[in-house]
Amino acid sequence: GKDQEELSEAEEAWLVQRLQEEGAALAAASEADSSTVEAAEPSEPPQMIPGHELLGDTPVVFQPHNVMTMARVGQPLSQVATQADVFIRYKCKKGECKTCVVNIDGKWVSACQTKIPPQAPGKHFDVRVREYSKTEKEKAAFFSPQSIADGFMNNAMGMFGFASEASRADPDFQVRIERERKIEQIVSKRAKQHRGLRGVPSGGHTVSAKLRPQGKGQDGGSAEQPKGNRVKKLLPGLFGVAAFLFALTGH
C-alpha cells in the first residue's frame, strides 16, 4: 500500500510537470503569434479599393493584403471579406469548427460569427486573415455560393439567348422552306415538259424520231443500202439456177 501511495504521488508530480510544460508551450506559441502579427504589419498605409468609398461608414482593413474597404456597422465580417475579395475558408459557418478564424486585436475569432463593430472617428477595424495556398483557394472558390450563382446565371443567359435567337430565326426559316417548295414545283413542272417532248434535248436542235424521214439514216445516207447488198449476194445463185435449167431444156 505504501508503494502504491508513493507511485500515485510520483504520477501526480509527473502530471503537474507535464501540464506546466504544456502551459509554457502554449504561452510561447501565443507570444510567437502576437510577435508574428506585429512583425508582419506593413510599412505602407492600407490602400482603399477603388469604388468602395461609399459602401459604408466604417473602414475595415484586411491584412496581410493591406487593403481597405468600407462597411456598415453590424454587417457580417464574412460579407465584408467577400466584398473586398479577401479569401476566408468556411466549413460549418456556426463558429464551432474554427476553420474561418481571423485575428482581431490579437485574438482569434470566427469570421462567420463576427460583425463589424462601431469605431471611433479616424479609426479603422483591423482584421488579419490566415494565408492559404493557391490549391485551397481554387477548391473553395469552385464550390462557393458565388460560383454556383454565377453558373446558374450563365446557364440562364445562355438559354435566354438561344430562345431569342430561335424566335428571330423562325421567320427566316419559313421563308427558306417556302423558297425550297417553289423551286421543287418549278423543277417538277420542267421535268413534265421534258417528258412530253419525248427525248427532245433542252437545245431543241435534234428532230424527234417521229419527224425523221423513214428512208434516211442518221448520217443522211440511203436506207436501201442493206437491200442492195443482199441483191448482189443473190445474183450468183440466180445465174447458177438459170444455167442449170437451160442445160436441162437443151437435152
Write out pLDDT tens, residues 14-73. Answer: 777 777 777 666 665 555 555 445 545 667 899 999 999 999 999 999 999 999 999 999
Average pLDDT over residues 176-192: 84
Cβ neighbors of 104 (< 8 A, separation 6 or more) are 114, 125, 126, 127, 128
Cβ neighbors of 75 (< 8 A, separation 6 or more) are 56, 115, 116
Where do we find the cell 448482189? 232
**Which pLDDT tens digit goes with each residue over 75-107?**
999 999 999 999 999 999 999 998 999 999 999
Residues 44 and 177: their CA atoms lie apart, in Å, by 70
Helix, strand, coil abundance in the chain, percent, nearest 5: 55, 10, 35
Give the pLDDT of residue 51. Answer: 95
**Residues 19, 21, 22, CA angle at the centre, nearest 5°?**
65
Q: State the cell numbers at 73.
A: 456597422
Give the pLDDT of residue 242. Answer: 76
Residues 230 and 128: their CA atoms lie apart, in Å, by 123
With both helix axes pointing from N to C terminus, report the angle between 134-142 and 145-196 in degrees, rounded to the nearest 10.
60
Short-list 36, 96, 87, 39, CA closest to 62: 87
CATH 3.40.50.1220, applies to 47-131: no
Residue boundaries of the structural domains of the chain: 47-131, 144-181
User: Amino acid identity of 163?
Assistant: A
Is pTM beyond 0.95? Reply is no
Q: State the cell numbers at 10.
A: 510520483
